[in-house]
Structure 1
């Protein structure tokens, strides 16, 4: 109930401001620049993380232990309807937060139909603008729906559940390249850590390593497993048990690059992929469980 009051208060205040107003930005800063209170957790529920099958793109759904929902990216445009159907199957008819990591079409395209068809309380953005038709359509739809739209700051926390820490490790307002501007999130529930890299490249990895603890049990590999991401140094610091590669079969970009796959496997990391089906995980804060049916085996 506490987390519900927090998010309702956040939304109600932001609705009073114009989109991207200075007041809205100051309010977000005041809410999110301090760490959540440390609380004794009672494992009444699990956190569920779905790395969605969206073709050549990226989309991750997190259902907090208290039921709050966060969708991180929406894949390409055609994936939007697929994601909506997936949400309906999970009994979700409203999204508390959407995070658009950066303005590439394979990350925000699917958010266009989602924003059109599903109630959304808040959209968090990297702050990186773009001149593409996809980006302008996305922003215009948000304005038409009157959804609060706020740029995140490095180091801030997103308060969706008092037992879950969601910290922003990178944003994009001062970055030139879209991929370099990707929002990077570290999500922690109890002892379980998820590091979600968006399309961050090795330069962003280097900057993050200088500022934050990146150790995580699950790594959503940056930039679909491109050779421009997931350096040897970064893997050694993260030390993940699981790595998730989000990409479409027979894509023209060569994702994932075999050098990255081999690097992950050399470290004994279990690698799963979304090109065939959604990868479902859940955690009680002590253990991480994989959905047993339908998971793809380790990449060869």
Structure 2
């Protein structure tokens, strides 16, 4: 299937349907936005529920993502309207294979790099007639007041020599009440470029690369200035999250949550405040 390089700003359901989103069924019974940081072990997966639509950023490495989604989504609402893949490494994209078997998926957005599991994954997407697109900095996807802005990688970044992790899609979600930055696996090298972008500031940060010492630089964290930081991490041999990353997060005054200790972390806006709960609550 041909990948289309497009800049999308989808502000209404009409615009959604007029491009390629006729396969996406939006349920308007839910209002507001909630961000869930899923407990998928040593991997990444986040769910954004907004105005009846379900947006997934990454899907972990295996079918554990299904157990998480069953705790959040109703049994009659097995749909993921849009998946953002930060990059096609196993611990971020492996869960998509099982997800497609169990959920209706509207479309997939990725960074355009055909690494690791992308080839077999694209085969499955084609077989199931699920469209996919590569986006880069400056592109955005909107639904009502909810906007997902792609702020990294810049167009042309993949053409030069680079680390796979630094090619991660960095996505910023905004809905008028709070903002969340999903930073994939980028290192301090990509972070340095992002600090020059004013749009990097966010209330909530998905900490890059599971709390690696080579990510979450002081400069980057000062630019983002997150009130809440969530580290998606499980049992691993890398020392994640590292003491260095944790210390830098503390130094910017961010409240830190970890999926290996807190389980699923839910962030939402209520009564004028950003609130957090973990999986023991729901």
1:262 and 2:271 are equivalent in the alignment: no
Q: Choose which of 247, 251, 256 in structure 1 pairs with 2:236.
A: 251
Helix, strand or coil: the match of 1:213?
helix
Q: For residues 285 and 126 of structure 1, what CA distance do their matches in structure 2 show?
A: 36
Q: Map of 1:12-27 to 2, 5 A cutoff?
A: none
Q: Choose which of 2, 5, 11 in structure 1 pairs with 2:20.
A: 11
Report what 1:102 is aligned to.
Answer: 87
Q: Map of 1:50-65 to 2, 5 A cutoff?
A: 50-64=36-50
Helix, strand or coil: the match of 1:210?
coil
Q: Map of 1:1-300 to 2, 5 A cutoff?
A: 3-11=12-20, 45-64=31-50, 66-86=51-71, 88-89=73-74, 92-130=77-115, 132=116, 134-159=117-142, 161-171=143-153, 173-174=158-159, 176-248=162-234, 250-276=235-261, 277-283=263-269, 286-291=272-277, 294=280
1:112-152 superposed Cα distances (whole Å, 9 cap, x missing partner): 1112332111110111111x3x3322121111111111001
More strand by share: 2
1:68/1:217 Cα in 2 relative to 1: closer, same or farther (>3 Å)?
Answer: same
Q: Unaligned stretches of 5+ in structure 2?
A: 1-10, 25-29
Count of residue pairs the alignment pairs up: 262
Report what 1:35 is aligned to.
Answer: none
Q: For residues 256 and 88 of structure 1, what CA distance do their matches in structure 2 show?
A: 29
Q: For residues 158 and 207 of structure 1, what CA distance do their matches in structure 2 show?
A: 22
Q: For residues 84 and 60 of structure 1, what CA distance do their matches in structure 2 show?
A: 10
Q: For residues 57 and 63 of structure 2, what CA distance do their matches in structure 1 show?
A: 16
Aligned-pair CA distance for 1:293: 6.7
Report what 1:27 is aligned to.
Answer: none
Helix, strand or coil: the match of 1:153?
coil
1:146-168 superposed Cα distances (whole Å, 9 cap, x missing partner): 11110012111112x22122110
1:197-231 superposed Cα distances (whole Å, 9 cap, x missing partner): 01111111111222342111111100011011111
Asked if structure 2 preserves the Cα contact closer than 8 Å seen for 1:192 and 1:286, the reply is no
Report what 2:7 is aligned to.
Answer: none
Q: For residues 76 and 268 of structure 2, what CA distance do their matches in structure 1 show?
A: 17
Q: For residues 90 and 217 of structure 1, what CA distance do their matches in structure 2 show?
A: 31
Aligned-pair CA distance for 1:10: 2.4
Q: For residues 191 and 58 of structure 1, what CA distance do their matches in structure 2 show?
A: 24
Asked if structure 1 preserves the Cα contact closer than 8 Å seen for 2:182 and 2:206, the reply is yes
Per mean C-alpha deviation after superposition, the further-off stretch among 280-289 and 5-14 is 5-14
TM-score, normalization by structure 1? 0.80
Helix, strand or coil: the match of 2:189?
helix
Report what 1:28 is aligned to.
Answer: none
Q: For residues 196 and 279 of structure 2, what CA distance do their matches in structure 1 show?
A: 39
Structure 1 moving runs of 4+ over 6 Å? none
Q: For residues 239 and 213 of structure 1, what CA distance do their matches in structure 2 show?
A: 12
1:18-74 superposed Cα distances (whole Å, 9 cap, x missing partner): xxxxxxxxxxxxxxxxxxxxxxxxxx932010000000000000011x211110000
Q: For residues 146 and 154 of structure 1, what CA distance do their matches in structure 2 show?
A: 26
Aligned-pair CA distance for 1:6: 2.5
